[in-house]
């Protein structure tokens, strides 16, 4: 099946219209739905009933922007689903009060949050014998290369860790150009990709034999999808994700 993809420019236009005065979604609403869909994808791919022993940790790496916000929401839902999320949030966003509220919610649920001060120790929390997966919520479709620190070092480390622990990337693998794909020798090749709203061009460069692809972000009707040149996805029942 050939999937319709949209460029970074078109994805930004979709978000702008969704949050514009005619439709009226807020960033907070879309982020909640996106983060919930990522959490649901994790539960589909790494079901707790199939977990052996103490391997229930999900390590979430959150970037400073909206992709990171999706990761923070995802972590909260995973906690409620019975997983043990640990969040690494090296550069906290001061863009709006909402991001502070997301971290307060995690603290309320007693989800550990590592900060930029843990740059040398975060890897101690990622052990193959205890970690189900790593959620890569660092950068999304608006990312423009090159990577800067501390994220270059983080992605370099994830490049090594992915041989031992599955990585779930949110919307695009962090460090990839949304339209062109990997831009460096060391890059993330995720075990799972959760595209939000509609896949981006770089998703076509992933090997379907190595990467399971989900679509999430179930908040647009058919006429809106058709306006931007794609068909809505066939979500089942109350599901917020669909395996492609």
CATH label of the domain that carries residue 72: 3.40.50.10260
Please state the residue numbers annotated as binding site for (6S)-NADPHX.
66-70, 140-146, 171
| 3-state secondary structure (DSSP) of residue 207 | coil
Q: Which residues of the chain have pLDDT under 50?
A: 1
Of 218, 199, 242, 155, residue with least CA distance to 8: 199
Q: Which range of residues forms the domain containing residue 114? A: 8-48+55-230
Look at residue 31 and tell me if it is in a domain: yes
| 3-state secondary structure (DSSP) of residue 215 | strand
| 3-state secondary structure (DSSP) of residue 183 | coil
pLDDT at 52: 59
pLDDT at 1: 44
| 3-state secondary structure (DSSP) of residue 221 | coil
CA distance 240 to 33: 8
Look at residue 112 and tell me if it is in a domain: yes
Helix, strand and coil percent figures for the chain, each rounded to 5: 35, 15, 45
Look at residue 238 and tell me if it is in a domain: no
pLDDT at 96: 81
Look at residue 178 and tell me if it is in a domain: yes
Please state the residue numbers annotated as binding site for K(+).
67, 136, 174
For residue 77, how far is the Cα from the chain centroid? 13
Domain count, the chain: 1
Look at residue 239 and tell me if it is in a domain: no
- Give me the sign of the Cα torsion angle 86, 92, 98, 103: positive
Helices 66-80, 97-108: axis angle to 10 degrees equals 20
Look at residue 96 and tell me if it is in a domain: yes
Please state the residue numbers annotated as binding site.
66-70, 136, 140-146, 171, 174
Counted residue by residue, the chain has a size of 244
Look at residue 237 and tell me if it is in a domain: no
Give the residue carrying structure tokens 């949110």: 170
pLDDT at 66: 94
Look at residue 114 and tell me if it is in a domain: yes
């Amino acid at each position: 099946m050939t999937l319709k993809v949209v460029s970074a420019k078109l994805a930004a236009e979709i978000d702008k219209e969704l949050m514009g005065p005619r439709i009226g979604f807020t960033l907070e609403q879309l982020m909640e739905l996106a983060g919930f869909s990522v959490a649901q994808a994790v539960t589909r791919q790494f079901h707790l009933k199939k977990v052996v022993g103490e391997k229930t940790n999900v390590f979430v790496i959150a970037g400073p922007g909206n992709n990171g916000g999706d990761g923070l929401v995802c972590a909260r839902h995973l906690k409620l689903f019975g997983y043990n999320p640990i969040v690494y949030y090296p550069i906290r966003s001061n863009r709006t009060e909402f991001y502070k509220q997301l971290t307060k919610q995690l603290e309320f649920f007693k989800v550990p949050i590592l900060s930029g001060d843990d740059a040398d120790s975060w890897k101690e929390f990622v052990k193959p014998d205890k970690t189900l997966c790593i959620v890569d919520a660092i950068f999304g479709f608006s990312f423009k290369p090159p990577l800067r620190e501390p994220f270059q070092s983080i992605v370099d480390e994830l490049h090594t860790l992915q041989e031992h622990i599955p990585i779930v990337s949110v919307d695009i693998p962090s460090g990839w150009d949304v339209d062109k794909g990997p831009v460096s020798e060391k890059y993330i090749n995720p075990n799972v990709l959760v595209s939000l709203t509609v896949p981006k061009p770089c998703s076509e460069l992933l090997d379907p034999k190595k990467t399971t692809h989900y679509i999430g972000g179930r908040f647009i009707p058919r006429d809106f999808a058709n306006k931007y040149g794609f068909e809505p996805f066939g979500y089942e029942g109350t599901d917020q994700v669909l395996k492609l």
